[in-house]
Structure 1
Amino acid sequence: MANSITEFLGDLVATTASADISASARQRAGVSLVHNLAVAMAGRRREQVAYRIAQSEQATSLATLLHNGARVGVDAAAFANGALFHARSQDDTHPDSTSHPGAPVMAAALALAEERGASGRDFIDAVILGYEILCRVGRDFDQQVTQRGYRAAAVFGIFGAAAAAARLMRLDAVQTGHALGLASHMAGGLAQVWHEGSAEFPLQLGFAARNGIIAARAAEAGATAATFALEGPRGFYHAYAGMTAAMTEPRAELDHWQIEEVTVKPYPACAILQGPLQLLCRILDEEGLSCADVVCLELQLNPYEAAYTGIDNRGPFASATATKMSAQFCLGNALTYGRLALHDLEELGNPDVLAQADKVRVVPTPSIAERFCRIRIRTRAGGEIDRCLDTPVGRPHPEEIRAFAAGLAGEIGAGAAAMERLAATIETLGDARDVHGLIKTVVGIGTKAP
C-alpha cells in the first residue's frame, strides 16, 4: 500500500537535508521574516488579548513575548506571538491555500528554537519546511474549505506549525507523520469572523501556532494518529472540504519550494484587496484623478474572491475587521486619500470615505484569475479608464522589503536605523549560533521593559 499523506509529509520534514533547501527559498524566507516581524512590531498596541493570557500563565520561562520581551512558557509565547504576527492583517499570504503561513509557522518555530537552543540555520530550515507542509495540505482545497464556512488560514495553520515544531524537536519521519495526523484533530477556525466583522481573527492563528507544538509534543511522547488521517473516508479532507477523491497535491514532486509562492502585503487589508488597492492608487497617480473626478468604479474579481466573506460589503461597518475586508471601504478610502493606512480602518463612519465607497461595485468575472483584477472607472468628464492588474503584487526584493520595514518605523516607535538593524540581523541569521540575537533585536525595537 502506498504511503499515506502524513507518512509522505512526515518523511519530507524529517529527512530533507539543510543543503537541499534552495538559496531562493532561503531568500524568500528572509523577506517574509523581515516583513512579518515588522508588521508584528507595528501591531503591538492592536493585539492585547493573547498577550495578557500569555503573561498570566504560570510556567517555566523558556520563550520570549515579542510584545515586550517578557519571558513565558513556550506554548504561551507561540500563542501570543502568532496572534501578534496577524494583528494588522498584513502578514504574508500563500494564494493557492488562502492562508497566512508566517504567523503560525514563525511563532511556533521561534518559541521552540529559543527553548531548544537551535541555530539560526535550523530555525530557517524549520520555517521553510513548515511553510511547505501548510501550503501542500491547503493548496487547491481552500475554496472547498471556505464554502463550508471555515477559514482556510485558521484550518491549515496548525499543520505548518506542527511540521516546524517536529523539525526543531528532531522527530523522525514516523513521529512527524503522527504529529501531522494529531494536528488534524485540532484544526479549526470559522469564517463567521468576516461575516460579522468580529475581532478574534488573530487568535485563530495563535491557536494554530500553539496547537502545532502540542501535536508535535504528543508525537514525541509516543502518541500515534490514524494513518490516513487526512485522506481517509472519515478524515480531514472529507470533513473539512467534502473531498473523497484521491489527493495528489500534498504529494506533488518537489520542483520548487512553496515559500517561493508566498506574497507579502503592502496594505493592512485582506490579501484579495492588495492588487486592487495597488492598481487603483497607480491609476489615480498616473491619471491625476481626484475622488471628485470619479463617477463610479467597477472592480472585477475572480468569482471565488468576489464572493469571499466580507469582500462585497457596502456597510454599515461594525469594526475595523469589517472595513479591512470590504472592497468598497478600502477602495473608497484610496479614492479619498490615495492610500490605505491602519488608522484609516478605524474611521468606520467617515462620511467622505463612505461617499466614495458607494461608488464601488464588485463584479464576479470568471476570466480573471485569483489575485488579479480589473478596474473600470467612469469619470465626470465622460471618459472611461480600464486597467488590468496582470502581475502579482507582494513579491519584493530584499532591498524593497527593507524600505517597507523602514516605512513602519514611525508606527513602531523606532527609527529607520533600528529597522535596518532588524534586516541585517535576519540577513546573517543563517550563520548565527542561535536565535537569541534575533529576539533581542526585535524586542529592543520600540518596546518597554516588561
Structure 2
Amino acid sequence: MSDALTFIHTLRWDDLPRRVQAQAKRCLRDLIGVAAGGLGTDLSRIIRDHAAEDLPGTAPMLFDNRAAAPAAAAMAAGMTIDSLDGHDGYNPSKGHIGCPLLPALLVFGHQAQVSGQAFLTALVMGYEFGARAAEAQHATCPDYHTSGSWGAATAAAGGARLLGLSAEQTRQALGIAEYHGPRSQMMRCIDWPTMVKDGSGWGAMCGVSAVQLARRGFTGAPAITVEQAPQVWTGLGEDWRILRQYFKPYPVCRWAQAPVEGVLALRRAHGLTSGDVDRIEVESFHESIRLATARPRTTEEAQYSTSFPCAVALVRGALGPEDLDGDSLRDPEILRLSEGLIMSEDAHANAVFPGTRLARVRLHLRDGRVVQGDWVQPRWDAEAPPTEEELAGKYRALADPILGPERARAIDKAIGQLETGPLTALTDLLYRAP
C-alpha cells in the first residue's frame, strides 16, 4: 500500500500540530464565507437550480432549502464557492484545494453523521493529499489543467476516509476519479472567461461519484498521480502543505492581485484620485497579462481580468464583490482606466512564477508626472499570512450581508468549537437558504 493510501485513513486529530488544527478552521471559515458571498451570482443560482431540479436526491444543498443527488449537491457547492474567486489557494498547484474538497466532505460527512473532529481531520488530510496530487499532475502534463482535474481525486480521498472505505476500495475510488476527472484546460477560461471557471465543482461531483461507485465494487484505472509519482508523496504528516495556503483579500484571480496592490499602494502614497490619472501601466508575469478582458460584461469576465480590478481599485480605493457586477461594469471612469491600461510581460516576474507572483505599477498622471512603485506581491501569501482579525473581517464582510450577522456569527462559533461536537452543529446552520 502506498504512503498516500495509508495516510488517507490513518491521520488522527491528535497527530496534528496546533498550528495545523487552527489553519483547518481558518480555511473552513474562509471557504464558507466565500460560498455565502457567491450566492447572489447567476452562476450559483443556475447550478443550484440544475442540481435540485435536474438531478434530484436527498443530499441537502449548501445555503439552499432543497436537496439533490449527492454528486450534484457537491457540484453545486463547489461551483458556488468558485463563483466568487476569493477562496484560498496553493501557489505550486496554481489552483485551489479546498474548493473541490469541502463539498465532498460536506456530502459524506452528513451522510455518515461524523463528528466535527472527524470532519476537520479529513479536511486536513485532503489539503495534504490535494497539494501533492496537484504537484504530481502538473509534473506529468505539459498543459495547465484546472483545479477540478486533480481535485476529483482529492474529493475522492476525503470521501473514502469519511465513509470508511477499505484500502482496496479507496485505491479504486482514486483511480476512477483521476480517470474521469475534468482535464479542463485552464488557460481557455483565462482567455475567454465564462461560468466553467476552475472546474472545481465538476471535480467535486466526479470525486463523490467515484466513491459511490468504488463502494459498490466498480473498479478504476490506477491513479498515476498517486502510484507513479513517489517523489511527491514525501513528508506526509510532517511537512504540512495546509500551512502553505494563501488567502485572498480580493475576490479576483490571484494573478491580478499583485497589480491591484501596486495600484492601491501608489494611490495611498501620493494621495491620488482617479481623476489625477491618465493611464495605468502594469508589468507582470505572462499569465497575469493573459487576464486581458478590459470591458467585462459579466462578473466572470471581471474576476478574470487584470485591468478591470486595477481600475476599480484606483477609482474606489477598494475591491469587493459589489465592485465586480452590476453598475460597476458600466461605470465610465472605471472603464476609461481599464481600457487604457497598458500591460507588459517581464522576464523577472516570469522567472519566479508560480512560487512568487510579482507586479510593478506606474501611474501616468494628467499633469505629466509618472509615479512608479516597487515590485509587489499579493497580500496574504503563506509567508505573510493575514492576522486572525483580518481573515475574520473578510469572512464577516462576505457573510454578514447575505446570511445576516447573527447567523454568520453562529457559523463562526460552530467552526471554532467543531472538534468538540457533532458535524451537525455546523451543518444545521449551512443547509438552509438565507
Q: Would the TM-score normalized by the shorter structure come out above 0.5?
A: yes
AA paired with 1:343? E
Shift of 1:161: 0.5
Shift of 1:136: 0.6
- SS in structure 2 of the partner of residue 50 of structure 1: helix
Is the alpha carbon distance of 1:267 and 1:159 closer, same or farther for their aligned partners in structure 2, counting shifts above 3 Å?
same
Is the alpha carbon distance of 1:343 and 1:390 closer, same or farther for their aligned partners in structure 2, counting shifts above 3 Å?
closer
Inter-partner Cα distance in structure 1 for 2:347 and 2:166:
45
AA paired with 2:358? F
Shift of 1:341: 2.5
| Aligned twin of 1:332 | 311
1:171 aligns with 2:180: no
| Aligned twin of 2:410 | 421
Q: Any idea what the Cα deviations from partners look like across 1:69-88, whole Å, max 9, x if unmatched?
A: 33443222212111111111
- SS in structure 2 of the partner of residue 201 of structure 1: coil
Inter-partner Cα distance in structure 1 for 2:209 and 2:431:
25
Inter-partner Cα distance in structure 2 for 1:196 and 1:87:
15
Inter-partner Cα distance in structure 2 for 1:143 and 1:344:
37
Which residue, 373, 380, 393 being the options, matches 2:359?
Answer: 373
Question: Which runs of 4 or more aligned residues in structure 1 lie more than 6 Å from their structure 2 counterparts after TM superposition?
Answer: none
AA paired with 2:98? G
AA paired with 1:429? L
Is the alpha carbon distance of 1:249 and 1:328 closer, same or farther for their aligned partners in structure 2, counting shifts above 3 Å?
farther
Instruction: Decide whether the 8 Å contact of 1:98 with 1:142 is kept in 2.
Output: no
Inter-partner Cα distance in structure 2 for 1:79 and 1:115:
16
Equivalent residues in 2 for 1:219-298, closer than 5 Å: 219-227=214-222, 229-230=224-225, 247=229, 249-254=231-236, 255-298=238-281
Shift of 1:316: 4.3
| Aligned twin of 1:239 | none
AA paired with 2:283? Q
Is the alpha carbon distance of 1:10 and 1:65 closer, same or farther for their aligned partners in structure 2, counting shifts above 3 Å?
same
Larger fraction in helix: 2
1:137 aligns with 2:137: no
Q: Which runs of 5+ in 2 are unaligned?
A: none
Alignment RMSD (CA, Å): 2.6
Shift of 1:270: 0.7
1:441 aligns with 2:395: no
Which residue, 87, 92, 101 being the options, matches 2:88?
Answer: 92
AA paired with 1:373? A
Inter-partner Cα distance in structure 1 for 2:122 and 2:165:
12
Q: Any idea what the Cα deviations from partners look like across 1:354-393, whole Å, max 9, x if unmatched?
A: 2111342222223233323222334335242222225752
Which residue, 376, 380, 392 being the options, matches 1:389?
Answer: 376
| Aligned twin of 2:23 | 28
Give the TM-score normalised by the residue count of structure 1: 0.84
AA paired with 1:402? A
| Aligned twin of 2:213 | 218
- SS in structure 2 of the partner of residue 164 of structure 1: helix
Inter-partner Cα distance in structure 2 for 1:59 and 1:341:
34
- SS in structure 2 of the partner of residue 389 of structure 1: coil
Equivalent residues in 2 for 1:5-44, closer than 5 Å: 7-44=2-39
Q: Any idea what the Cα deviations from partners look like across 1:184-211, whole Å, max 9, x if unmatched?
A: 1111123333322222327x32221121
Instruction: Decide whether the 8 Å contact of 2:165 with 2:215 is kept in 1.
Output: yes
Which residue, 28, 47, 51 being the options, matches 1:50?
Answer: 47
Inter-partner Cα distance in structure 1 for 2:255 and 2:370:
27
Is the alpha carbon distance of 1:231 and 1:36 closer, same or farther for their aligned partners in structure 2, counting shifts above 3 Å?
closer
- SS in structure 2 of the partner of residue 403 of structure 1: helix
Q: How many residues align?
A: 418
Shift of 1:143: 8.5
- SS in structure 1 of the partner of residue 412 of structure 2: helix
1:412 aligns with 2:402: yes
Q: Any idea what the Cα deviations from partners look like across 1:119-157, whole Å, max 9, x if unmatched?
A: 101111111111222211112754985x63x54212121
Instruction: Decide whether the 8 Å contact of 1:277 with 1:334 is kept in 2.
Output: yes
AA paired with 1:338? G
Instruction: Decide whether the 8 Å contact of 2:281 with 2:341 is kept in 1.
Output: yes
AA paired with 2:298? S
Q: Percent identity?
A: 22
Q: Which runs of 5+ in 1 are unaligned?
A: 233-245
Which residue, 176, 179, 182 being the options, matches 1:185?
Answer: 179
